[in-house]
Amino acid sequence: MNGAESLVRTLVASGVETCFANPGTSEMHFVAALDRVGGLRCVLNLAEVVVTGCADGYARMAEKPAATLMHCGPGLANGLANMHNARRACSPMVNIVGDHATYHRPFDAPLTADTEGLARAVSQWVRIGSSAETVAADGAAAVQAAMSPPGNIATLILPADTAWNESAGPAAALAAPARAAVAPETVHTVALALRTKEPALLLLSGPALGERGLYAAHRVAVATGAKLRTMTQVPRLARGRGRVPIDKIPYAVDRALEVFAGIKHVVLCAAKPPVGFFAYPGKPSMLWQKDAQLHVLSRAEQDVVAALEALADELGAPANVAIPDPGMTPETASGRFSQEGFGATLAALMPENAIVAEEAVTSGRALFPPTYAAPPHDWLQLCGGAICEGLPLATGAAVACPDRKVICLEADGSGMYSLQSLWTQAREKLDVVNVIFANRKYAILQAELAAVGATPGKTANDLLDLGRPNLDWVSLARGMGVEGSRVETLEGFADVFRSAVGRRGPFLIEMVI
């Protein structure tokens, strides 16, 4: 058994069931080994940005890592952006990146590149396989690293000769540590702060955004009057009827600052200290007020759900509190696109237990309130701000959850970075309805340019405008084997969406706005 086969067998033994792949020459022994080992579903993607985005979406829903298979140097480089997004989402991921045979590297052949440096830029764990005898153990360590809380990017670089030489066979799986408990003193300290009844805000991320975490946070809110918010972008949020409704910190700095106005205690629940996405002249980086105190209830890698429950208990919150009634499920809307109308239509027509993968950018900022009353669903967003993830995130989630309908809400400018995802959806017959918000511009950048105080002239306008020619997303989808339809009104959207969710397989709706 060669090194590649020992590694594949080890990955499978370690619980890895899925591999998103875009291999090159140096990965051929790994590919050949896949034929000899069962238990690993391989999904081909036509660009690496899709590979890593899929792995992120998969990990968020499967709660375990997929493997990726990418080519050395530049191949890995093409996948880094969504590795960055996955890192920010605390998604576990195990990247297998081929490289030149150890003895071939010094010759500086054309594809030779700093694979290790590239991997280190976005991975928490990097190892270069040094021999065929040890790559199996390296693979087990990679899965362990990926699964260690809060979830990490582990990258194993596999020189070709460590794949093709004779190995010592597979390695045993290595258990990852459990989430560490938050110390009772920490819970007690936070409880003391909240008991002052000074204005407080619980900022939630990670597992706190699951149904149990949200419920515990809600008990705290009921007991103390504290506000609940998520970070601006959520890795995975349990939403819809029966779940605690919670809004995000707005992206725009001025609006984000309003959320923290008067707040004296900010309690971080697996969330980072809230800062602006970007700096702007004359505006602060930190969103909390100078006289406010930051409390860390739980770091990202700790057991935030248990900590929230302990906090609620310590505060004497009743075990059973009512979840706010989101009101009637909205009716579908009509007329031109508006976020409120779109959100209402989505809530009205969303099937039970859907997964929403959203990278709608300016078209998605106000979609949370109108969908509180939708059927229960999970909502995923890109967490690293690197816009190229909506379509692959949806694709990976659909691989992880074949029995759930996936709805991808994607901005047109964003979608163009990873449109090759549609082909994967077609090949794997994934159950995804892709909605492209076609405003035909980089609207977020138009707003950012205005925030800079500039009146755009012709050059700036050209750089922020996606028209001339307009993208025809229905043709783009057809080119990759996905059926699609263009709509210009919300009633048109409702008609097509109703039909699309009523069938299986990928579909694309271009919503002209």
Q: Which of 1, 101, 173, 252 binds a copy of itself (CB under 8 A)?
A: 101
Which residue's CB is nearer to a copy of itself, number 155 or number 420? 420
Does 26 help bind a copy of itself (rule: CB under 8 A)?
A: yes
Q: Which of 31, 181, 366, 501 binds a copy of itself (CB under 8 A)?
A: 31
Q: How far apart are CA 44 and CA 54, in angstroms?
A: 11
Does 478 help bind a copy of itself (rule: CB under 8 A)?
A: yes
Through-space distance between the first and last CA atoms of the chain, rounded to whole angstroms:
57
Does 64 help bind a copy of itself (rule: CB under 8 A)?
A: no
Which residue's CB is nearer to a copy of itself, number 84 or number 265? 84
Neighbours of 289 (CB within 10 A): 16
Binders of a copy of itself among 217-276, rule CB under 8 A? Answer: 232-233, 272-273, 275-276
Q: Which of the ranges 124-132, 330-338, 392-400, 410-418 carries the binding residues for a copy of itself, by CB under 8 A?
A: 410-418
* CB 475, min distance to a copy of itself, A: 4
* CB 87, min distance to a copy of itself, A: 9
**Up-side HSE of residue 230: CA atoms within 13 Å toward CB?**
27
Which residue's CB is nearer to a copy of itself, number 22 or number 134? 22
Amino acid symbol at 488: E
Does 118 help bind a copy of itself (rule: CB under 8 A)?
A: yes
* CB 229, min distance to a copy of itself, A: 16
Which residue's CB is nearer to a copy of itself, number 114 or number 352? 114
Which residue's CB is nearer to a copy of itself, number 351 or number 505? 505
Which residue's CB is nearer to a copy of itself, number 325 or number 462? 462
Q: Which of the ranges 72-80, 193-201, 203-211, 253-261 carries the binding residues for a copy of itself, by CB under 8 A?
A: 72-80
CA 77, distance to chain mean position in Å, is 19
Q: Which of 168, 174, 366, 460 binds a copy of itself (CB under 8 A)?
A: 460
Q: Which of 3, 53, 57, 73 binds a copy of itself (CB under 8 A)?
A: 73
User: How big is the CA angle at 323 (ends 322 and 325), to the nearest 5 degrees?
Assistant: 110
* CB 351, min distance to a copy of itself, A: 25
Q: How far apart are CA 160 and CA 9, in angstroms?
A: 17
Length of the chain: 513
* CB 264, min distance to a copy of itself, A: 21
Q: How far apart are CA 101 and CA 106, in angstroms?
A: 10
Which residue's CB is nearer to a copy of itself, number 55 or number 494? 55
Does 42 help bind a copy of itself (rule: CB under 8 A)?
A: yes
Binders of a copy of itself among 423-452, rule CB under 8 A? Answer: 423, 426-427, 444-445, 448-449, 451-452
Does 475 help bind a copy of itself (rule: CB under 8 A)?
A: yes
Element holding 94 (H helix, E strand): strand 93-99
Given a contact cutoff of 8 angstroms between Cβ atoms, the answer to whether 48 and 74 are in contact is no
Q: How far apart are CA 115 and CA 95, in angstroms?
A: 12
Which residue's CB is nearer to a copy of itself, number 215 or number 423? 423
Neighbours of 291 (CB within 10 A): 8
Neighbours of 460 (CB within 10 A): 14
Beta bridge partners of 44: 21
Binders of a copy of itself among 155-194, rule CB under 8 A? Answer: 160-161, 164
Phi first, then psi: give them for residue 202, nearest 5 degrees.
-95, 120
Q: How far apart are CA 479 and CA 420, in angstroms?
A: 10
Kindly write out the interface string for residues 74-93 of this chain, putting x where it contacts a copy of itself by CB under 8 A and - elsewhere: xx-xx-xx--xx--x-----
As a dihedral over the C-alpha atoms of residue 205, residue 210, residue 211, residue 212, rounded to 10 degrees, the angle is -80
Which residue's CB is nearer to a copy of itself, number 221 or number 398? 398
Given a contact cutoff of 8 angstroms between Cβ atoms, the answer to whether 323 and 346 are in contact is no
Neighbours of 255 (CB within 10 A): 11
Provide the 8-state DSSP code for 238.
E
Which residue's CB is nearer to a copy of itself, number 216 or number 380? 380
Kindly write out the interface string for residues 344-383 of this chain, putting x where it contacts a copy of itself by CB under 8 A and - elsewhere: ---------------------------------------x
Q: Find, among 356, 512, 355, 333, the residue nearest to 436 by Cα.
A: 512
Q: Which of 227, 466, 488, 495 binds a copy of itself (CB under 8 A)?
A: 466
Q: Which of 65, 129, 170, 413 binds a copy of itself (CB under 8 A)?
A: 413
Query: Is the bond preceding residue 469 a cis peptide, omega within 30 degrees?
Result: yes
Amino acid symbol at 504: R
Q: How far is CA 338 from CA 235, 263, 346, in A?
A: 25, 32, 12
